[in-house]
Amino acid sequence: MLVGKIGKVYGILGWINFFSFTEIKEKIFNYYPWFILKNKKWESIQLKNWKQHKNHFIIQINNVIDRSIANTWTNTDIFIDKNNLPKLKKDEYYWHDIIQCKIFNTKNQYLGIVINLISNQYNDIMIIQNNLKKQNIKDIMIPFINQKIIKNIDIKNKTIIVKWN
């Protein structure tokens, strides 16, 4: 499961900018081991150190000791085994559970499939790959507001009912 991304090099001692995709950003450091896909093979990576830096983090990876080595890690996605995530209570779900859910409105019209979720300061937003051929809209953006817009989420059957035209 994708949980973060390595950015540009920071300084000359092998530090690298790192962006966490977890809801509580610091929790990323509780979910070890981390994996990368390199040359079509999964490899585990070990952190030497990490620090908060502005609105993201900087990290040191074991055996990455200078800027030139650190530069080879730029734009690397970080994955974890989803079994390492905390167990959820009934009717709770992770964002990755929402991806690929089919979206229907309350009139039982199929709107499309969830391809992404984004967060802003007001609420989360589902990005739906549009299936309405009559509209010239590529994707539909639906606010993820429980009860008001999101009427039902069935993770087992991968369906979501929304109040949306």
**Does the pLDDT of residue 148 top 70, yes or no?**
yes
pLDDT > 90: percent of the chain: 66
Mean pLDDT over the full length of the chain: 90
Q: Which residues touch 74 (CB under 8 Å, ≥6 apart)?
A: 6, 7, 8, 9, 16
Domains 2-84 and 95-162 fall in the same CATH topology? no
CA 93 remoteness from chain centre: 13
Residue length, the chain? 165
Q: What is the pLDDT, as a whole number, of residue 34?
A: 96
Quote the pLDDT of residue 7: 94
pLDDT digits (tens, 9 = 90+) for 77-102: 999 998 888 888 887 888 888 999 99
Q: What confidence score (pLDDT) does residue 133 get?
A: 62
Q: Please give the CATH topology (third level) of the domain spanning 95-162.
A: SH3 type barrels. (2.30.30)
Task: Tell me what the mean pLDDT of segment 149-155 comes to.
Answer: 94
Per-residue model confidence (pLDDT) at position 132 = 66
Average pLDDT over residues 10-17: 95
d(CA 130, CA 42): 33
Q: Which range has the worst mean pLDDT, 23-37, 55-69, 75-89, 127-141?
A: 127-141
Residue 134 clears pLDDT 80, i.e. is over it? no
Tell me the C-alpha distance between 128 and 141, whole Å: 6
Q: pLDDT at residue 108 above 90?
A: yes
Domain positions in the chain are 2-84, 95-162
- What pTM, to 2 d.p., does this model score? 0.70
- Amino acid, res. 26: E
pLDDT at residue 3 tops 70: yes
Residue 135 has pLDDT above 70, yes or no: no
Q: Which long-range contacts (CB under 8 A, 24 or more apart) does 31-38 make?
A: 31/3, 31/80, 31/84, 31/85, 32/80, 32/84, 33/80, 33/81, 34/3, 34/4, 34/78, 34/79, 34/80, 35/78, 35/79, 35/80, 35/81, 36/76, 36/77, 36/78, 36/79, 37/77, 37/79
Mean per-residue pLDDT, 11-34: 92
What CATH number is given for 2-84 in this structure?
Answer: 2.40.30.60
| Amino acid type, 13 | L
